[in-house]
């Protein structure tokens, strides 16, 4: 969809506001062109001594009344037109948010947060300006131009009118050349602003890492370079916008010279009155606004077109995971992975190769293996963060593709290795999945996650704000708060993706002991690099290079001389040494 089609559709949707604004603008234009005509008439009457002092007052009153009417009409159309334009900004931001919120993880592989934020701010602002300022200036300028030119040619003298318009085709050519440069300049400027936004966002997100590595000076130099580049690009675009003014000035100067020369000749030969010449000069002055409006409209439209060229593809991007399911309920039956294979976008090596596993209801399965063996990938496919390309994942004997995403994700609680906490209190973060949870319920799951005592030591206890992304908490505390949140959801399936990696072995044992009681009746998938976390699982699968290399209970796997047995002995030895 082009910007013009977007704006046309929006105008059709809000036609009442635009129609009322157009009527008011038309009134402004008509009154504006009547004033010079009225002034010329008054001057001719004064020269002919047909207007006395008393008779002049009503004429002046009419001029004052028309000026006052223009003022109120201008206020009226601004209220209606800009209210409608702001609605477009709200609509686009809502659409962008919905698009981003419904995209899968694959969508974000090649996109950066700062760039997406820039599209939600600067780009939408530019489109909003095109829907408001540009349409306003375009209509107002066009209406004024038509009426003024009509009055100059048909109302005063057609010969003088045509002569005064001779420079205008050259001005139109200049506008066309400048508008092309403006489009490219603003496209570059918006892109540089996105790069600057990315750098600032990444720097603030990783500020502790940056300080720990002593990268402040280097980041400051990079920020200065990006900021200077964005400033130069914006200045370049502004310079091209400023080029409209001299083109308008030269054209109107040429028209004024022609008017004074040819108009003076007509007055000298009594073919034009002084009042008419005065009216014509005032009309010529009124052409300044339509000319500037034309440049302003072209500038805003090119800026909006450049912004829509960046925003449109994001809004048109189909969901990376299609929600085509129709089933709205899931039974408590087995979960099965049948010959599941998967390769990440833009990667050659497969992450999973023909993985087949079964999880009966109410049981626990542990997934272990070396880093990069595909453990977390299996959970992401189950959560439908990525579309499954080969094989099938079935729940209750039905492929998970047949369930709606809302239904599927509503029966699973997922705790990733790096959980996300919002800038709210500890209690609010735990009760995120159940906003009406009582404090007793929140404290119960916090005890199960072995984080209750840690929370009580915080300045405000459960009401302590955790800061952005939980920056006020340690890594282990964030993980345990996320586990408490998942337990509060009380879903049939609990997914723990290395969710105990940031806690010590004593706390891990405490949490696992609590989870044995809490997970009764629900299916659990535990991904862990610590084998102690899965030792009591009903079954354990060892993944290596995306394949199931070993499978069985803890006792069966230890009895075999495979990867699991050697890793178990190593971790037990490591634990005994740490205990010394």
Give the integer Cα–Cα distance in Å for 64 and 61. Answer: 5
Q: Kindly give the pairing relationship between strand 493-497 and strand 523-527.
A: parallel
Domains, the chain = 3-103+110-316 (1.20.1560.10), 343-411+494-580 (3.40.50.300), 419-490 (3.40.50.300)
CA dist 134 and 295 (Å) reads 10
pLDDT of residue 341: 92
Q: Residue 189: what pLDDT?
A: 81
In Å, what is the CA distance from 216 to each residue of 199, 202, 225, 569?
13, 13, 14, 44
- 429 contacts: CB under 8 Å, gap ≥ 6: 421, 422, 466, 470, 481, 485
Question: Under DSSP, is residue 466 helix (H, G, I), strand (E, B) or coil?
Answer: coil
pLDDT in tens, the chain (580 residues): 677 777 777 777 777 777 777 787 777 777 777 776 677 667 666 766 666 666 677 777 777 887 788 788 777 767 766 777 777 788 888 888 888 888 877 777 777 777 888 888 888 888 888 877 777 777 777 777 777 777 777 777 778 778 877 887 887 777 777 877 777 787 788 788 888 877 777 777 777 677 777 777 787 888 788 888 888 888 888 788 777 778 877 887 888 788 778 778 777 777 777 777 777 777 777 777 777 777 777 778 878 888 888 888 888 888 878 888 888 787 767 889 999 999 987 788 888 999 999 988 888 899 998 988 888 899 989 988 888 888 899 988 888 888 888 888 888 888 888 888 888 898 999 998 888 889 999 999 899 888 888 899 988 888 988 887 777 888 888 888 998 998 888 888 889 988 877 777 778 878 888 877 766 678 889 998 888 888 888 899 999 988 999 899 989 888 888 899 898 888 888 767 665 5
CA distance linking residue 284 with residue 264, whole number of Å: 15
- Neighbouring C-alpha atoms within 13 Å toward the C-beta of 287: 26
Distance CA 431, CA 447 (A): 14
What is the spatial distance between Cα 135 and Cα 445, in angstroms, rounded to a whole number?
A: 57
Asked if 563 and 549 touch (Cβ cutoff 8 Å), the reply is yes
**In whole angstroms, what is the distance from residue 454 CA to residue 458 CA?**
7
Report which secondary-structure segment, H or E, holds 358: strand 352-359
- Cα distance between residue 364 and residue 523, in whole Å: 6
Cα–Cα distance, 472 to 424 (Å, whole number): 11
Neighbours of 504 (CB within 10 A): 11
Q: Regarding beta strands 539-544 and 364-368, do their DSSP bridges make them parallel or antiparallel, or are they unpaired?
A: parallel
Give the count of beta carbons closer than 10 Å to the beta carbon of residue 173.
Answer: 11
Task: Return the pLDDT at 367.
Answer: 93
Helix, strand or coil, per DSSP, at residue 415: strand
Beta-carbon contacts of 180 under 8 Å, excluding residues fewer than 6 positions away, are none
Cα distance between residue 260 and residue 284, in whole Å? 11
């Amino acid at each position: 969809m082009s910007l013009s089609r977007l704006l046309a559709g929006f105008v059709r949707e809000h036609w009442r506001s635009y129609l009322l604004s157009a009527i008011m603008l038309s009134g402004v234009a008509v009154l504006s062109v009547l004033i010079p005509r009225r002034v010329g008439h008054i001057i001719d009457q004064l020269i002919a001594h047909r207007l006395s002092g008393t008779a002049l007052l009503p004429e002046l009153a009419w001029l004052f009344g028309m000026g006052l009417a223009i003022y109120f009409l201008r206020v009226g159309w601004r209220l209606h037109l800009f209210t409608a334009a702001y609605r477009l900004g709200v609509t686009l931001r809502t659409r962008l948010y919905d698009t981003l919120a419904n995209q899968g993880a694959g969508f974000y592989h090649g996109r950066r947060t700062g760039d997406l934020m820039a599209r939600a701010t600067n780009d939408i602002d530019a489109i909003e300006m095109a829907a408001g300022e540009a349409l306003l200036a375009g209509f107002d300028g066009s209406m004024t131009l038509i009426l003024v030119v009509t009055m100059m040619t048909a109302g005063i003298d057609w010969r003088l009118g045509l002569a005064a318009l001779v420079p205008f085709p050259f001005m139109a050519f200049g506008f066309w050349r400048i508008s092309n440069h403006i489009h490219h300049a603003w496209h570059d400027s918006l892109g540089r602003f996105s790069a600057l936004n990315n750098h600032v966002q990444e720097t603030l997100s990783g500020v502790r890492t940056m300080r720990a590595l002593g990268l402040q000076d280097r980041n400051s130099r990079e920020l200065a370079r990006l900021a200077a580049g964005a400033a130069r690009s914006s200045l370049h675009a502004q310079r091209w916008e400023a080029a409209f003014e001299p083109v308008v000035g030269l054209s109107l100067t040429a028209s004024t010279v022609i008017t004074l020369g040819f108009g003076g000749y007509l007055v000298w030969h009594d073919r034009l009155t002084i009042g008419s010449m005065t009216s014509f000069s005032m009309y010529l002055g009124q052409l300044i606004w339509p000319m500037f409006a034309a440049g302003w409209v072209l500038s805003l439209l090119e800026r909006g077109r450049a912004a829509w060229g960046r925003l449109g593809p994001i809004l048109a991007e189909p969901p990376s995971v299609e929600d085509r399911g129709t089933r709205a309920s899931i039974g408590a039956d087995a979960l099965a992975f049948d010959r599941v294979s998967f390769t990440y976008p833009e990667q050659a090596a497969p992450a999973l190769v023909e993985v087949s596993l079964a999880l009966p209801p109410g049981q626990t399965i542990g997934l272990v293996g070396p880093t990069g063996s595909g453990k977390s990938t299996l959970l992401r496919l189950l959560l439908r963060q990525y579309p499954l390309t080969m094989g099938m994942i079935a729940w209750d004997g039905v492929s998970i593709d047949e369930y709606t995403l809302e239904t599927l994700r509503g029966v699973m609680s997922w705790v990733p290795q790096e959980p996300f906490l919002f800038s709210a209190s500890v209690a609010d973060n735990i009760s995120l999945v159940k906003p009406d949870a009582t404090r007793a319920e929140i404290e119960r799951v916090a005890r199960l996650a072995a984080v209750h005592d840690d929370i009580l030591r915080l300045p405000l206890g459960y009401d302590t704000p955790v800061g952005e992304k939980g920056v006020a908490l340690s890594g282990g505390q964030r993980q345990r708060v996320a586990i408490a949140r998942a337990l509060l959801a009380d879903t049939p399936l609990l997914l723990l993706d290395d969710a105990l990696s940031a806690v010590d072995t004593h706390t891990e044992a405490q949490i696992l002991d609590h989870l044995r009681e809490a997970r009764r009746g629900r299916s659990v998938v535990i991904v862990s690099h610590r084998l102690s976390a899965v030792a009591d699982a009903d079954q354990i699968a060892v993944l290596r290079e995306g394949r199931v290399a070993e499978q069985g209970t803890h006792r069966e796997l230890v009895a075999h001389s495979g990867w699991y047995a050697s890793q178990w002995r190593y971790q037990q030895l490591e634990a005994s040494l740490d205990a010394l």
